[in-house]
Structure 1
Amino acid sequence: MDLNFSEKHRAFQAEVREFIRRHGPASPKTGGGRKRPDRKTLDWQRLLIEHGYAGRTIPREYGGYGAAPDVLEAAIIAEEFGRANVHPGIMNQGISMLVPTLLEVGTREQCERWVRPTIRGEIIWCQGYSEPEAGSDLASVRTRAVVEDGHFVVNGHKIWTSSAHYADMMFLLCRTEPDKPKHEGLSYLLLSMRTPGIEVRPLRTMTGRAEFNEVFFTDVRVPLDQIVMGRGHGWHVANITLKHERMGIGDAGKLTHRLQRLVELLRATKVDGVPLIAAAEFRSRLLRLQGEVLAWRAHNLRLLTDQARGEDPGLRRLIVKYGGTVLGHRLSALAVDALGAEGLTALSQGEDAQDDDAANWNNDYLYDIGLLIGGGTSNIQRNIIGERGLGLPREPRVPGTGGRGA
């Protein structure tokens, strides 16, 4: 195995480093997030797209850079941005989940309408999936849409909807064919959060901030052309989105950036004048995490290779969400241990907290606990890995519970 870059990729690496040297000072601060991007972040995102460091393989006709997929180029971008602790670009639900879904199964008109403003951060999306009685068993959603006067009319209730309080649009899973089996009766709609009849109720979490929401729909009218793949195909579309969601949650680039931030924190934090990175306990934990992040990056390269070849990665894909969230939580846990009480005061201020490093680390740590549940709980993920990936016997059904999640 030859791990050396070719001349082509060495030249590309030099190009990326030169971009960072010239434009790095304009980068927004890394870390934090989970809010509407400010002007500095939007300008940075547009610059990244123009140079091919965001939206790299998205066709030019839809606002992307239009490059052919290249596993090593993607790895070089992630590595160099992570090493320099430069903002890697906006990565929200619209960009990481909806855009690849539309590129895979959306119409040309839907891609032309939604992809460009989404990847630029001009349109923010939220995901209307979970309901009070349809979380892990997602196919049991009860929110309904019926056709009246050339529109879908939506009524129902969603919960744990991240970003709904500031989102412009929602991709919604709802029931349009009530007489069909539950997996066959769903549809996937795109709707404006400014539509009359939508009520958003923020849910304050242990971070002190309202990052999740309940969303209520009362006779919400959605144009008929804002459906992806047609009526009854929602389960198929939803699972394409979930595939990209789980890949995004376990993205090695984000973990690499977090590791770099952690290294800088341990170098800067001192006890009796000695940096924590020199303390045996912290250094040992850091080195173990560094090795795991390197292994995770190699695993992501395998997945990118499968994608470039048009191959199904199977089990390799199934472990991404579970492994990535566990590793991310352990990275933030080490940072919180290093900070001690610092940052807790700012964190306790909730929405009014300043986005300093200490508050961001503590917020990430608490938010990461939620990620162990969101996007498919760790227990559900272990079942999927065991049953679908390793071929183990299915978990027994418990009488009276309605079965397991799909």
Structure 2
Amino acid sequence: MQMFNREAEAGFRAEVRGFLREALPPALRQKVLEHAVLTKDDLVGWQKILNARGWLAPGWPVPLGGTGWTPRQIYVFEEECWLAGAPEVFAFGPKMLAPVLMQHGSEAQKAYFLPRILASDDWWCQGYSEPGSGSDLASLRTRGVVEGGHLVIDGQKTWTTYAQYANRMFCLVRTDPEAKQQEGISFVLMDMDTPGIRVRPLILLDGTHEVNEVFFDQVRVPLENVVGELHKGWTYAKALLGHERFNAGKIGRSLRELALLKRMAAQPDMLGRRLLDNPRFAERIAATEVDLLALEKTTLRLIAAAQAGASMGVEPSILKIRGTEIAQNLSALLVEALGPYQPNAESAPAEEPLAPPASLVRQYLNWRKLSIYGGSNEVQRNIIAKFALGL
């Protein structure tokens, strides 16, 4: 086991920062820091840069393209990427599907799909949520019937992120309607150009096309595209949701937003007033920073415990709740900072740009989703109550 070493970590941070200075395209960095809407080309382009360095999938085993980094190093790397203004790696392929394939996929599935994930040749979307089956995912009703060498799938998925870009989907399908809710579900890989699949956009509150409805009408998927055993997909789905548990709070992203908030509050407006001189607003910034630092320390303690061999219980639920609450609070404070004390962006340093007001408002509206997706915060509290408090 590799223990924490302050000097070694400082050297690792310096290496990551040097790479980001050299490799992150300035125009892409500016889009991220200005909270602009990123395109698929933006995301894929950055992933290809990371893959060329061997850093796209740091959590993978080294023989398959991973880095051999410890969980703490992965945490540091992701934090530095956030702070530098790099796009977030689109998680469905490298961080979610890939670990499931490594553990439960066939040799043919691993040999074909894992290299394509690293090369960004495939864009995966996740077919989990359905109308009436979001946080209560085990109640899903999309069904698959075995006919010869195929599953014939009918049903609907919703809130499918970036399905308009995807050429593949990993999907949960009920293949044994007589089994209990958590049983009789299969984990299926499918091509999005298969006849019978239809994608319909859902426009979010902020006006962007990020999620979709996906309809299945007699979609025929070869049985070799079922991951693991037929009817055992719920086990694999739970394993997928357990990956990236230390990043649930997205602390690096919130640290970046906190720094922007401080710059905005310290920037004088057209009349020379600073929002930071408002005692009540300054107190709210300080309280949010204390919450964020506490979450960071909690995350680092959990990482240290995991590296020492401890198993995780409900802690990822705690990180998800607090991380999303803090992020939403920061987005609200950023919008409030656009009020009567709106800063004079023209006088801000060029190397530390202020985000356009419209982008901050769009982010505020978009981030209302943070406490809902990935298992709503209400469901996370139920998990804590049941498994930690015995209620």
TM-score by length of 2: 0.84
Partner SS state of residue 85, structure 2: coil
**Counterpart-to-counterpart distance in 1, 2:148 and 2:341:** 58
The ranges of structure 1 where at least 4 consecutive aligned residues each deviate by more than 6 angstroms after the TM superposition are none
* Equivalent residue in structure 2 for 1:51, among 53, 59, 83: 53
Contact persistence 2:24–2:46 (CA under 8 A): no
Count of aligned residue pairs for this structure pair: 374
The Cα shift of 1:374 comes to: 1.8
Deviates most, 109-118 or 204-213:
109-118
The Cα shift of 1:333 comes to: 0.8
Tell me which residue corresponds to 1:348: none
The Cα shift of 1:169 comes to: 1.6
The Cα shift of 1:220 comes to: 0.8
**Counterpart-to-counterpart distance in 2, 1:94 and 1:205:** 23
Tell me which residue corresponds to 2:240: 241
**Quick one: which amino acid aligns to residue 372 of structure 2?**
I
Tell me which residue corresponds to 2:210: 211
**Quick one: which amino acid aligns to residue 378 of structure 2?**
N
**Quick one: which amino acid aligns to residue 18 of structure 2?**
E
Deviates most, 231-240 or 266-275:
266-275
- Which blocks of at least 5 consecutive residues in structure 1 are unaligned? 344-355, 393-406
* CA pair 121-362 structure 1, distance change in 2 beyond 3 A: farther
Q: Deviations over 1:153-208 (max 9, x none)?
A: 11111222222222222111111112222211100111111111011121222212
**Counterpart-to-counterpart distance in 2, 1:277 and 1:118:** 45
Deviates most, 138-147 or 300-309:
300-309
Partner SS state of residue 285, structure 2: helix
Contact persistence 1:48–1:89 (CA under 8 A): no
* CA pair 310-217 structure 1, distance change in 2 beyond 3 A: farther
**Quick one: which amino acid aligns to residue 17 of structure 2?**
R
Tell me which residue corresponds to 1:144: 143
**Quick one: which amino acid aligns to residue 115 of structure 1?**
L
The Cα shift of 1:275 comes to: 4.0
Contact persistence 1:35–1:163 (CA under 8 A): no
Q: Deviations over 1:78-98 (max 9, x none)?
A: 444444x33154233333322
Contact persistence 2:246–2:303 (CA under 8 A): no
Tell me which residue corresponds to 1:19: 19
Alignment of 1:378-389 (within 5 A): 378-389=377-388
Tell me which residue corresponds to 1:155: 154
Q: Deviations over 1:29-81 (max 9, x none)?
A: 3254775422x54333233334354322323544x3x3223244234324444
Partner SS state of residue 114, structure 2: helix
Tell me which residue corresponds to 1:257: 256
Partner SS state of residue 321, structure 1: helix
**Counterpart-to-counterpart distance in 2, 1:330 and 1:173:** 33
**Counterpart-to-counterpart distance in 1, 2:69 and 2:304:** 9
Alignment of 1:6-405 (within 5 A): 6-24=6-24, 26=26, 27-28=28-29, 29-30=31-32, 32=35, 36-38=39-41, 40-62=42-64, 64=65, 66-83=66-83, 85-87=84-86, 89-244=88-243, 248-268=247-267, 270=269, 272-340=271-339, 357-392=356-391
Partner SS state of residue 217, structure 2: strand
The Cα shift of 1:266 comes to: 3.4
* CA pair 309-154 structure 1, distance change in 2 beyond 3 A: farther
Tell me which residue corresponds to 1:404: none
**Counterpart-to-counterpart distance in 2, 1:130 and 1:99:** 20
The Cα shift of 1:305 comes to: 3.3
Contact persistence 1:96–1:248 (CA under 8 A): no
Deviates most, 206-215 or 194-203:
206-215
Q: Deviations over 1:114-155 (max 9, x none)?
A: 234334544222221122232332212111111223111111
The Cα shift of 1:329 comes to: 0.6
Partner SS state of residue 319, structure 1: helix
**Counterpart-to-counterpart distance in 1, 2:255 and 2:99:** 23
Percentage identity across aligned positions?
A: 37
The Cα shift of 1:334 comes to: 0.8
Contact persistence 1:20–1:81 (CA under 8 A): yes
- Which blocks of at least 5 consecutive residues in structure 2 are unaligned? 343-354
The Cα shift of 1:16 comes to: 2.3
* CA pair 379-276 structure 1, distance change in 2 beyond 3 A: same
**Counterpart-to-counterpart distance in 1, 2:270 and 2:109:** 56
**Counterpart-to-counterpart distance in 2, 1:170 and 1:295:** 37
Tell me which residue corresponds to 2:350: none
* CA pair 359-16 structure 1, distance change in 2 beyond 3 A: same
Aligned-pair Cα RMSD in Å:
3.0
**Quick one: which amino acid aligns to residue 15 of structure 1?**
E
**Counterpart-to-counterpart distance in 1, 2:376 and 2:113:** 30
**Counterpart-to-counterpart distance in 1, 2:37 and 2:224:** 30
Partner SS state of residue 15, structure 1: helix
Contact persistence 2:249–2:319 (CA under 8 A): yes
Q: Deviations over 1:290-340 (max 9, x none)?
A: 222222222222333344455321122221222221111111111111123
Tell me which residue corresponds to 1:347: none
Partner SS state of residue 225, structure 1: helix
Deviates most, 310-319 or 269-278:
269-278
Deviates most, 26-35 or 47-56:
26-35
**Counterpart-to-counterpart distance in 2, 1:269 and 1:227:** 59
**Counterpart-to-counterpart distance in 2, 1:321 and 1:156:** 30
**Quick one: which amino acid aligns to residue 37 of structure 1?**
K
* CA pair 360-15 structure 1, distance change in 2 beyond 3 A: same
